[in-house]
Amino acid sequence: MSLIAITEVRKRFGDNEVLKGINLDVAAGEVIAIIGKSGSGKSTLLRCINGLETIDEGTILVAGAQLAPDELHLRALRLKVGMIFQSFNLFPHLTAGRNVMLSPMVVKKVPAKEAQAEAQARLEQVGLGHKFDAYPDELSGGQQQRVAIARALAMKPLALLCDEITSALDPELVNEVLQVVGKLAAEGMTLLMVTHEMRFAREVCDRVVFMHQGRVHEIGPPEEVFGAPKTLELQQFLGIA
């Protein structure tokens, strides 16, 4: 059974239909890259999966939790999927450690001491154990993004959604973040990532989804999608047509 089941999902912003019937099943442990031009609906799809956007038709199921617009369903869903953003979105008034501790304490009522140990472990996992007491504005972009990953991991999600998580980074900082993600992938985390890092997608992902005009235009293992693109649109996108 798949961990994430997306069935016939449609999403409109006014008259503009951005998702035109998306079907996608993600197995536990699978790493999937979503590529496509801007405006193809890839970020919207990702944001629908944890309910940051509502959907107009179709269903999204994550490990039995269904996407529904009420807070109870949304929270049940969000306990199963974590999300990492392009702009990090760390809480500026809290230290790195406190950023990671906050949600376990507030949402899961984990005692402070336990949450602190967990935060320390998660920060070490992303190579930032020594930055527990640093504030976000004292960290580089790459470090901030790694803290954001640690913060998501502290909630012990079944899957992580990554929304262009290296797009706001200076080129020399991209690798440190990708390394962390690569390690997570190797450890069996289910990952769904919108990305422009084609090389990374090719090396790490099990499947690549090419989205075009609100549809899954092509899908397959990276060697197929990158090596032998079938459609003209994908060939154009990859710059080989």
Partner 1 sequence: MAYSLDFGALAEYAPIFAKGVAVTSELTLVGGVLGVGLGILCAWVRTDGPKALRPIVSLYVEVIRNTPFLIQLFFIFFGLPSIGVSLTEMQAAILAMVVNLGAYAAEIIRAGIEATPRGQFEAGASLAMTRLQIFRNVVLVPALQRIWPALSSQIIIVMFGSAVCSQIAVEDITFAANFIQSRNFRAFEAYIVATVLYLILALILRQIMRSLGTIIFPRRRVVR
**Nearer to partner 1 by C-beta: 104 or 229?**
104
Long-range pairs for 131-140: beta carbons < 8 A, 24 or more residues apart: 131/96, 132/95, 132/96, 132/97, 133/95, 133/96, 133/97, 134/95, 134/96, 135/92, 135/94, 135/95, 135/96, 136/88, 136/90, 136/91, 136/92, 136/94, 136/96, 136/99, 137/92, 139/96, 140/173
**Nearer to partner 1 by C-beta: 155 or 209?**
155
Token representation of residue 202:
């090719």
Residues 50-109 that bind partner 1 (CB under 8 A): 50-52, 71, 74-75, 78-79, 81-83, 85, 87, 89-93, 102-103, 106-107
**Nearer to partner 1 by C-beta: 52 or 238?**
52
Amino acid, single-letter form, for residue 232: L
From 131, 2, 129, select the one nearest 62 (Cα to Cα): 2
> Please, what is the minimum distance in Å from the beta carbon of residue 6 to partner 1?
17
**Nearer to partner 1 by C-beta: 99 or 125?**
99
Please state, in angstroms and as integers, the Cα–Cα distance from residue 170 to each residue in 28, 141, 177, following that order. 32, 8, 11
**Nearer to partner 1 by C-beta: 103 or 195?**
103
Instruction: Map residues 139-178 to x or -, x wherever contact with partner 1 holds by CB under 8 A.
Output: ---------x--xx--x-----------------------
| Segment interacting with partner 1, rule: CB under 8 A, options 18-26, 129-137, 183-191, 205-213 | 129-137
Number of residues that bind partner 1 (CB under 8 A): 29
> Please, what is the minimum distance in Å from the beta carbon of residue 165 to partner 1?
13
Beta bridge partners of 159: 81, 190
Contacts of residue 126, Cβ cutoff 8 Å, sequence gap at least 6: 146, 147, 149, 150, 153, 180
> Please, what is the minimum distance in Å from the beta carbon of residue 182 to partner 1?
22
> Please, what is the minimum distance in Å from the beta carbon of residue 191 to partner 1?
15
**Nearer to partner 1 by C-beta: 15 or 71?**
71
From 153, 34, 134, select the one nearest 83 (Cα to Cα): 153
Q: Which of 70, 137, 172, 187 binds partner 1 (CB under 8 A)?
A: 137
Rounded to a whole number of angstroms, the distance between the first and last alpha carbons of the chain is 37
Site residues (vs partner 1, CB under 8 A): 50-52, 71, 74-75, 78-79, 81-83, 85, 87, 89-93, 102-103, 106-107, 135-137, 148, 151-152, 155
